[in-house]
Amino acid sequence: MEFKHQRVIVTGATKGLGKAIALSFAGKGAWVAANYSSDDQNAAATESELSSLTQKHLLLKADVTSKNDVDKMIKSVVEQWEHVDILVNNAGIIRDKLLMFLDEDDWDRVIDVNLKGTYLCSRTILKTMIARKFGRIINITSPSAFTGRAGQTNYSASKGGIISFTKSLSKEISRLGITVNAVSPGFISTPMTESLNQDIKCDLLSRISMRRLGQPEDVAEAVLFLASAKAGYITGQVLGVDGGLI
């Protein structure tokens, strides 16, 4: 899977899964625009790693919940690189609480970042993709969208919305040469999971058929596959990368 000279935007790209996805594209020859919202320190570290893999990279500070920010971000990329081939909607947050304790701000913020951000970035990028009759949009969802999870009504709703969004948008634009798919990562080894106590880790592992956590690179490879020519006849699908969790 080579992406030489293909232009890629990855949202939430300066840590965790987003960073792994951005670096994987860069390692395959892509021009990578890495979006982030606030963490300048992680952004600088990611930019340094990108620069070691590709000379064509951009660092884009923008809030994906803001139409104005998203418009400026994508306009900037198009002005510098002429078009965008691939969009990965990875930006996401969690604010877990049982519903009776979940205030409106926590509900709105999770829905805004996870679902509205996916809508704004996808909608804004479509013009350049339609003009060239080519594009790949990959959205990041979650097993919580399928199974639900106590304390995650807001998160599960946002990720379930992303699946429905993916399937609906694919039916609108696939005839124009643009595919829309989603990747559903399970429990992935990140600093957050590493900090969990042993009992919680054992409980997590007991739910996974493969009895191990996934790696960020496992998710990145799935995203790269869906963005590649090998997946040209795949659209409207959700690819689980969860070691048999569901």
The packing angle between helices 16-27 and 216-227, to 10°, is 50
Other residues' Cβ atoms within 10 Å of the Cβ of residue 74: 24
Residue 109 CA: distances (Å) to CA of 54, 66, 131, 147, 154: 34, 12, 33, 22, 9
Instruction: Provide the residue count of the chain.
Output: 246
Amino acid identity for residue 60 in this structure: L
- Choose among 181, 185, 239: nearest CA to 208: 185
User: Residue 233 catalytic?
Assistant: no
Other residues' Cβ atoms within 10 Å of the Cβ of residue 68: 10
Catalytic residues: 155
